Amino acid sequence: MASRTALLTIDGKPTHSMLDDRFAANPPVDRLPHLAWFGVYFATDPGDRFWNPEEGPQLDAIENELLRLCGIHSNGWAAYVQRLDTRGLREYYFYFGEGAAMEKVLPQLKSAYPNYRLEFDRIDDLQWAQYRKWLRWVSDNDQSLPRSRIIALITDVREWFLRS
């Protein structure tokens, strides 16, 4: 993933964002109108880091399997556009098209990694509105953005996906 990275604060928590900007000029809105969210909750306490270094290889393995499964179930193409890391949670965002079976990813991932809390949700984002918001924020290249602005840009999607 070619990405722009940023450190920010969401809900008082340090967050690391990686946003793929390859689609900035021309997002494939007609081919990939749906946005999927996957959450990987860590198995060990990361302390004051984003993740426990001893758990890092396992988290990397989960990520690699997630990418592989999304490739299989996306009907050939899913755009992996963002990863957010907070203490205890890694979030992945993918755009995908009609006919994809992204809901099949989660059961297979859970089967491969039964000791992890793994979640999935999806929304329709026909104009890539969330991606455009994230891209505008990253383009500002301002690490001192007011917390309320950061929350407005990222929390919109989190509220869709992390509802109880």
What does the pLDDT look like over 136-153, one tens digit per residue?
A: 776 664 444 444 444 444
The candidate with the shortest Cα–Cα distance to 81, out of 14, 159, 138, 142, is 138
What does the pLDDT look like over 70-81, one tens digit per residue?
A: 999 998 789 999
For 107-123, what is the mean pLDDT? 97
Ranges of each domain in the chain:
3-161
Average pLDDT, whole number, for the chain?
84
DSSP helix, strand, coil percent of the chain (3-state; round to 5) = 35, 30, 35
Q: What is the pLDDT of residue 148?
A: 41
The domain made up of 3-161 is a member of CATH 1.10.1740.10: no
Give the global pTM: 0.84
Q: Report yes or no: 78 and 70 within 8 Å, Cβ to Cβ.
A: yes
Q: Computed from CA positions of residues 118, 20, 134, 47, in that sequence, does the dihedral angle turn out positive or negative?
A: positive
What does the pLDDT look like over 8-19, one tens digit per residue?
A: 777 778 888 899
The residue to which tokens 């299989």 are assigned: 72
Q: What is the pLDDT of residue 135?
A: 83
